[in-house]
Structure 1
């Protein structure tokens, strides 16, 4: 096991050592105050629309040993090449008032003499990703070092030339208008896909010997900054590492309409002239990245590349993901037209997510050759190295699918899902942040998310439900969860400066929510939706249990209590006892009202509202977490809510709070029962986690959804019992609870180093082999006894 750990870490570090790095991460070295370049565009661009601009700058370098440092950004997205070699893509997702730029040292890509920097800027048009704010299709490059000034953009007087890529058009994903639908299920917020006619494409445009004589000079769009702010974008340095760009081999054909078998993509494949061929690739696990197709000949052949997380059977039922029989692929696609030349190359303009890829090819009078097809995996380059193994294979596989989901969805922000929406939602992020920290030991993405949500605040104190965002989603419950995220962060780090920076924001959010409360000390209806969970069954309310606009909702009122309790603790830590006591008192008042109005003494359950017409797991879970019910009765209530099938059920998302309740009452024997829905995912050979329960009324949609990954967090935090008690794992507590497990082993990365552990329960004895770094100290607890942990690898036996 330890050998595996060492190998894993070595590979991760080796990859990072070879990659291009962001110079402003983790510390800002090149701030926006020295940016003198301007935003530029193509002179024929009149406004935002789906289009691609290609930029080139040919320049000479005499001393390749000198650093050549630039800042770069674009609207909407850019891809950068030097001397034909891919460097990176960006910018990091943010908003207009906090527009990110990358800072790169390009010297390792240069050669003595002439060099070429080529940049593709993509505008995805009116149906661009809902998380992507935009002003104008534009590029900014700022030379930081003197030898990089030749790369600064300014307009006609600079050294850049540009051309509109006439081969490209955006393919809008149809999910709500008339005609054939592109996807199964509702809401799509991701980017459109690509149509590329290679007959109009300027091949080799990234290379030095390309003839750009007919290209035009850039046109000035706007200054990089002005009057202490910006007329266009208010620039900020990127605060996360660059994304990966790692080659991955794609797997073979599993189904084809052609009688001729092929080992594509491991070997090239020829499609005869005047033919139609459809074939399916199965990657066996869900993946993400930029799949690259290289193809030759086949003048005017049509190539559609379709991507999906899963296949669909009759009535859009998914079932066993490994069973492909009588199932079809329905998903978004790219469409390419061949120009008949050799070694044409297609790379999509935005990340694709897939387990299954289907090619639909129609050739004309010339045969088409598919030379190669591979993927460039893209995600954060912060290593995700956690490992977990137990004596129960189902647990092990649940950990794997949770980890893969969170790894895919941690890009340069936290993605809510990898296929349909790809937005950073508050409720989703609270859970993903905890799981990601368990996987990586790193908090950079979490700090970034909390700050971005803070930027979304409206005048009433509402946090937008998702951010960055070019729309307006407000769920008052998610505003509360933003405060809960800060409490999670502080509990781990004890970072006083961090919470003080949000003190006024917390107060603003809570005072804004307080306006929703009525004379019963329960919530009123608002013009916004109190999202709780994707309930199934009657009275599901579209995510709100009461199905009446949330009026007098006990679960929402109790979540307000939960947040008030968190805020009270935070303000006490900040030395503001008056506010702390005020929040604690308000929490007590609401709890008392919820108990008096909603507790059913006959059923011994909390109803979801005072008329006692609806009962759900959620209200009772939150009653335990907020002590709305006496502590002596909480375990009984927990057992009851887990076994009462008549209650509206907590789905994958809300079971994070269910696991918290199990941990609070210390009932590890109930963990497996609470985890049952994940067992169905394993039985169906899923490799990532679902968004919601499947039902006839509403089919499960997203299959790469991090809010469903909470079991992996609790495997470490509760079953293995490894918790930080001081300053982000400077001091730890290990108190295994096991549940139904007998052995647990793994690796938990922390900011102070990796904790490697093997835990075994035998009767009343605990056998523990634990390796902790020198920077960590703590204790191990078992059945009322405790021992001090010793650094290095040690064996502990406890009765």
Structure 2
């Protein structure tokens, strides 16, 4: 059920830009700086015509929740940086009544441990009336009607992941927001409703002007460029275990009563991973402490995971919220930031009054751009893999691309290259891709480095990810044919590549840098924290070939816009580096590329990239690919880098090897995973994130390679369908595109292809099979093709 009817007015086209803004940023007079706090704002006003549009802009630092007359409207702002700070534009008329109304805004500052992707200046809010009737609610801090109070019930609960004390999570690095500690005894119940008494609240204080005409002391504002996030109510699951006999009909059908002076725990299983804002409504239970823990999975005695459906002798180790009851009826708790979970554990300690849990649901959060792609085949393993890949991508496409949904939630360049392609296949929409490319462009430092993740309040630099940003632009162009897009970023491309060129040494291989050349989560004795070696990437063949890959992609882009000088420069430089990699790293005896000139390290990655860059003749690439998959001593490409392995299989036309390359995903299905893992399991680097989009690449190649559906011109204006099948004999599905949905049923029988294909009326295309090429007819049609003898 979709409860949120509000839409972003400026998506997909900007209607009301920043030139309409005359309001200012305001705050509570007692706010000092970046402390963790929740500030509540109210503005009570009158309107005479409730049918008239009432359009506002709104933004806040760090995060806001907007209510009108007690109705939840949305939360935001869209994640960005200070120089491109986003505001939402909304029409509130459907929530207003003639006469007295109230707009209420909750603003949270998560404090010093806030999400690493969240830039901040000061706890503040900006509300601006766009239509004349809405200017009465402008925040100005000077004779406006806004009142505010500090929510004394809230404090940020730091998620402890380092240091010598007890850890809140398993697996190290945590970059997401703190969780919540809320004492309802200090909560201003019904503060967002019309009849609440705010007479003791304080007038707001002016912080800074919101105008960004040529500059700003604070935030440079710009309109939100993606739709609002969903707020869809869904069940949280069923109770599967408890410390005491309890009514397990909760939370599905009945309330749960907990007697005074009891300590109970119970575990809820959603059956699959989801995300959103869980809502608990509870009554009585004065001074009871309710701890709500969330996790993607359960852990065994030695933190092993195993079969995710097996909960016996396993415990939930994860972040948690803590709520103290005030004893009143119908208390409500919703976290201030998104939670990700399959399992939820309640730990409840009551005092002298019975506690009643009345309702517990989740408000699912993700982009509202529809994800409608479908895929089935005659192999259930492939179907199951598609399902977990799709769920992962859906969860991690919010108002930016999340690297994972639980631990970091950052938008990393290397991750996003893969996720963007999969998301486009699932939705037929490129808005998120364009947003990510633009945000990465904003991150470039003075040396030409694209930050490894962005938006960001830290400084993560992986020079390889700078190269991947160039590859992303090429990916987008190959589908869209949009030359204006190349022009937008051509200066950034040249700056980034010039910056990387400074890393090259006299061997025409990469030198050491102050940063880390991240390639993959290698395992084994040569693990270099993301690189294949422990020598900081000196003379790394795979990194040098990644530079070649970016140079070749850039050359293609500049050729397309008629810049022959830059095209030839990049093409020639790529060939120089290829020659050096062959000279110093190719092992003629093994017919493999070593990872560095001393030939002590051999990995799949270098050889995959050698195929993708044509560092080895075309005639030898299929043999090299076979060796990549059969040589046992090569350092293995994990889930992330197998995207490039699948690309190499597609490039050399070896669909029979796809199933072998996909084998690691079988373990996920055998373990009843419902989303995709971050990396291979090992004692040295145990798996951590279980909702990791960079591991969802099979879903993309099921469409792009096995079904063989690709855009040939202008974002699917012209399409080519070249089925490869691999181990499959039947493939069915739906692929959304910007021109409409392509529906397909493909069946291979010895030397015959039988196909039922539906293409939109504004699309042309060809079906290619067995040496034959036939034109596709518009609408739904049946095709039978015999392979050439």
TM-score by length of 2: 0.99
1:128 aligns with 2:114: yes
Number of the residue aligned with 1:590: 577
Name the structure 2 match of 1:448.
435
Mapped to 2, the partners of 1:226 and 1:587 lie a distance apart of 43
1:67 and 2:53 are equivalent in the alignment: yes
**Deviation sequence 1:340-378 (CA, Å, 0-9, x none):** 000100000000000000000000011100000000001
CA contact (8 A) 2:522 2:638 kept: yes
Contact in 2 for aligned 1:225/1:231 (Cα 8 Å): no
Question: Of 144, 150, 166, which aligns to 1:180?
Answer: 166
- Residue number in structure 1 paired with 2:92: 106
CA distance in 1 between counterparts of 2:331 and 2:20 reads 41
Q: Distance in 2 between matches of 1:48 and 1:730?
A: 50
Question: Out of 497, 506, 516, which is 2:493 matched to?
Answer: 506
Structure 1 contact 316–699 (Cα < 8 Å) conserved: no
Aligned match for 2:562, one of 568, 575, 579: 575
Show CA shifts across 1:130-170 (max 9, x none). 00000000000000111101110001411111100000000
- CA offset digits 1:34-68 (Å, max 9, x no partner): 21100000001111110000011111111111000
Give the alignment of 1:420-435 within 5 angstroms: 420-435=407-422
Q: Contact 2:263 / 2:348 at 8 angstroms: preserved in 1?
A: yes
- More off after superposition, 256-265 vs 85-94: 256-265
Q: Is the 8 A contact 2:170 2:688 kept in 1?
A: yes
Match of 1:714 in 2: 701
1:246 and 1:147 map into 2 onto residues whose CA distance is 31
Q: 1:640 aligns with which of 615, 618, 627?
A: 627
Work out which of the residue numbers 14, 18, 27 in structure 2 matches 1:41: 27
Give the structure 2 partner of residue 398 of structure 1.
385
Mapped to 2, the partners of 1:746 and 1:34 lie a distance apart of: 45
Within 5 Å, give how 1:407-418 maps onto structure 2: 407-418=394-405
Give 1:480 shift: 0.2
Distance 1:631 1:400 in 2: 35
SS of aligned partner of 1:187? coil
CA distance in 1, matches of 2:719, 2:244: 60
Secondary structure of the residue that 2:112 maps to in structure 1? coil
Matches within 5 A, 1:462-473: 462-473=449-460
Name the counterpart of 2:64: 78
Q: Which residue of 2 aligns with 1:792?
A: 779
Asked whether the equivalents of residues 212 and 221 of structure 2 are also in contact (C-alpha less than 8 Å), the reply is no
Please give the alpha-carbon distance, in whole angstroms, between the structure 2 residues aligned to 1:138 and 1:241. Answer: 23
Q: 6, 10, 13: which one pairs with 1:27?
A: 13
User: What's the offset of the Cα at 1:19?
Assistant: 2.4
SS of 1:640's equivalent in the other structure is helix
Matched with 1:334 is 321
- Tell me the SS of whatever aligns to 1:114: strand
Q: Does 1:191 align with 2:208?
A: no
Q: Who is 1:736 aligned against?
A: 723
Measured in 2, the distance between the counterparts of 1:513 and 1:633 equals: 30
CA distance in structure 2 between the aligned counterparts of 1:34 and 1:523, rounded to whole angstroms: 50
* Mapped pair 1:151 → 2:142: no
* Residue number in structure 2 paired with 1:4: none
- Cα distance, 1:514 vs structure 2: 0.4
1:289 aligned counterpart, secondary structure: strand
Q: Is the 2:286–2:325 contact (alpha carbons within 8 Å) kept by the matching residues of 1?
A: yes
Q: Which runs of 5+ in 1 are unaligned?
A: 1-10
1:226 positional shift: 5.7
Q: Among residues 745, 757, 767, which one is paired with 1:758 in the alignment?
A: 745
1:291 alignment partner in structure 2: 278
CA distance in structure 2 between the partners assigned to 1:644 and 1:170 by the alignment = 51
- Report the Cα distance in structure 2 between the residues aligned to 1:713 and 1:291, rounded to whole angstroms: 31
Residue in 1 aligned with 2:764? 777
Counterparts of 1:88-487 in structure 2, within 5 Å, are 88-225=74-211, 228-266=214-252, 267-487=254-474
Indicate conservation of the 8 Å contact 1:82/1:110, yes or no.
yes
Return the offset for 1:227: 6.1
Is the Cα contact below 8 Å between 2:522 and 2:532 reproduced in 1? yes
Q: Which secondary structure does the structure 2 equivalent of 1:57 belong to?
A: strand
SS at match of 2:690: coil
- State the Cα distance separating 1:456 from its structure 2 match: 0.2
Deviation at 1:262, TM superposition (A): 2.3
Contact kept in structure 2, 1:83 and 1:110, CA below 8 Å = yes
Structure 1 distance, partners of 2:406, 2:248, is 29
Larger CA deviation: 88-97 vs 225-234: 225-234
The answer to whether the 8 Å contact 2:212/2:219 transfers is no
On the 8 A contact 2:640/2:695 being kept in 1, the answer is yes
CA distance in structure 2 between the partners assigned to 1:181 and 1:48 by the alignment: 25
Pick one of 535, 541, 561 that aligns with 2:548: 561
Take 2:214 and 2:196, find their aligned partners in 1: how far apart are those partners?
41
Unaligned runs of 5+ in 2: none
Q: CA deviation digits over 1:2-26, x for unaligned, max 9?
A: xxxxxxxxx9xxx59x721111111
Pick aligned residue for 2:520 from 533, 553, 573: 533
- 1:497 corresponding residue in structure 2: 484
Contact 2:18-2:212 at 8 Å conserved across structures: no
CA distance in 2, matches of 1:771, 1:490: 25
C-alpha distance in structure 1 between counterparts of 2:524 and 2:370, whole Å: 41
Q: Determine the C-alpha separation between the residues in 2 that align with 1:178 and 1:69.
A: 51
State TM-score, norm by structure 1.
0.98
Asked if structure 1 preserves the Cα contact closer than 8 Å seen for 2:65 and 2:105, the reply is: yes
For residue 314 of structure 1, give the secondary structure of its aligned residue in structure 2.
coil
Aligned-residue offset at 1:314: 2.2
Q: Is the 8 A contact 2:247 2:256 kept in 1?
A: no
- Distance apart, 1:645 and its partner CA: 2.0
C-alpha distance in 2 between matches for 1:227 and 1:88: 27
